[in-house]
Amino acid sequence: MADIYDNVIELARRRGFVWPSSECYGSVAGFIDYGPLGAMLKRKIENLWRNFYIIQEGYYEIEAPTIGVESIYIASGHVKGFADKMCQCPHCREYHRADHIAEEHGTMGADALSLEALKDCIAGLPCPSCGESMGDVEVFHFNLMFQTGIGPGSQRTGYLRPETAQGIFTDFNRLSRFYREKLPFGAVQIGKSYRNEISPRQGMIRLREFTQAEAEIFIHPEHKNHPAFSRYADYVIPLWGQTQQMAGDAPVTTSMRGAVDSGLVANEYVAYYIALTHEILMSVGINPDKLRFRQHLPTECAHYALDCWDAEIYSERFGWVETVGIADRTDYDLRAHSAESGDAFTVFIPYSESRTETQRRIIPDMGALGPQYRGKAKPIADALTAAEPTDEGATVTVDGKEYFIPADLFEVREETVEIRGEEIMPHVIEPSYGIDRILYCALEHAYDEEEVEGEIRRILHFPPPIAPVQVAVFPLVNRDGLEEISREITADLTLHNILTQYDDNGAIGRRYRRQDEIGTPYAITIDYDTLEDRTVTLRDRDSMEQVRIPADTVSGTLGELIRGKKQFADLKNEE
């Protein structure tokens, strides 16, 4: 087989899966259009993801705007630090990722190098566009967010979101009340994100507008044993940890229980979502021999992350592609938004038994503070409640300025109070899925070619639940009542929510080949025997085998096949 990428993309364009965006105007790198079958495949993958995270896990979905005010991204660190190292070729004037140039010529971990070190590294390397030596080229940071103005005259700066997660974090207090302030709880979001990539040259792998599916699970920082861990405790997966990577060893095949007990994975929550992610990717049709879970090395792991793993899928064209990130982000995100917004991003956790404590309370004398400090009196009084007073007074800071408040301007009282619980800032477990990358890998892993009767048969071996079209209905000919029966069967399948394509154009063999190319797992043919005994031919895409089944059982049989309740081989045995 020739380069599978070329074959997959040629089929995807011809059959309506993926097209270049705004092709009539020359297209722009980093943007794609999903055609009729691609959009359906994408929705099927998204809904399969929802089945796991919403139906199985019980996390509700939210939908936040794709444009956020600047404060959100100041808090998240994107305004200051969400940048790639860029350079411009002095010969052809094309822009490139400097670290990508270095990595393509053998420098590992180039993204961790300083600007100066990267400049020295690529000085003698050829430009990816024109082939000339980069020479004495400047390397500089380029922020990847798309900036916009909100309102007339751009009164407020906004950004197209670079990830879906921040909308969940900014809704934290609302979500906490929705879940009755009980940990753990989580929320999910599927939607568009935007990154102004410098030079996207990897098709669907690196886009400027892409779809993310993210879950944010808020847990008690001291309780990281997953309540349903038994579901995946014995789930066995190859894990490529830091130790194995740095030693050049192969991944370790272990159960999730063993991974946690050995310290390979930080805690049960991270292990649980590694296993759940593996199950999702298997359901999408990813080849298990081309899937690995790789732990971030110390040089690439975010400073705030307790543990982080990537699900990487092997592509014949692109090598190992990161498709899912699973991280224990501690309380970094909530703490950052709390500091920027001034809101308390905490949950009140009651004790099993309340206790009493003696506390010292400062009561400001507002009658004295007001005339002396005027407009600053209220903020000074608020600051005094958290101050540490001496016999002489207390020092407080308001708007960056220190004030010494004499002891005669406030009263210190000791009170016995009942403590019923404490405010806890949760830690966050984040599984983040790149839907477009998963979809491309599903296309590549599903694609196959074989010679049948002297012709090349192209097949997409999609699992039935995600196939864009799940069954095709063919009347052998459009006469003698066969068309009417075919229409009746099509209508019945539609009533049972089975996505059906009616096709009466051309020879049956050609119709089969068309459906094989778009991944339709089953086909129903209505022929003259149907008029005699009310049976139809059911064909299986992968084996090309056929069975006769009663016409009035078609929808029920196909429903069982699509849900995996029955296998096609079972029908052969029943025949």
Query: What's the pLDDT score for residue 2?
Result: 56
Query: At 149, phi and psi to the nearest 5?
Result: -110, 140
Outline where 123-267 has alpha helix (H). Answer: 165-170, 172-178, 242-247, 256-261
Buried b / exposed e over 425-452, threshold 16 CB at 10 Å, is bbbbbbbbbbbbbbbbbbbbbbbeeeee
Give the 3-state DSSP-derived string for 433-482, with helices as H, strands as E and coil as C: EEHHHHHHHHHHHHEEEEEECCEEEEEECCCHHHCCCCEEEEECCCCCCH
Contact 474, 526 (CB under 8 A): yes
Query: At 454, phi and psi to the nearest 5?
Result: 80, 0
pLDDT string in tens for the chain (575-residue length): 558 999 999 999 999 999 999 999 998 899 999 999 999 999 999 999 999 999 999 999 999 999 999 999 999 999 988 888 999 999 999 999 999 899 989 888 888 888 999 999 999 999 998 999 999 999 999 999 999 999 887 678 999 999 999 999 999 999 999 999 999 999 999 999 999 988 787 889 999 999 999 999 999 999 999 999 999 999 999 999 999 999 999 999 999 999 999 999 999 999 999 999 999 999 999 999 999 999 999 888 888 899 999 999 999 999 999 999 999 999 999 999 999 999 999 999 998 888 888 878 888 998 889 888 988 899 999 899 888 888 899 999 998 899 999 999 999 988 888 888 899 999 999 999 999 999 999 999 999 999 888 889 999 999 999 999 999 999 999 899 999 999 999 999 999 999 999 999 999 999 999 999 999 999 999 999 999 999 999 999 999 999 999 999 999 999 999 999 999 998 988 76
Query: What's the pLDDT score for residue 453?
Result: 83
Say if pTM beats, i.e. exceeds, 0.75.
yes
3-state secondary structure (DSSP) of residue 64? coil
Pick from 322, 307, 412: nearest CA to 362? 412
Q: CA triplet 467, 469, 473: central angle to 5 degrees?
A: 140
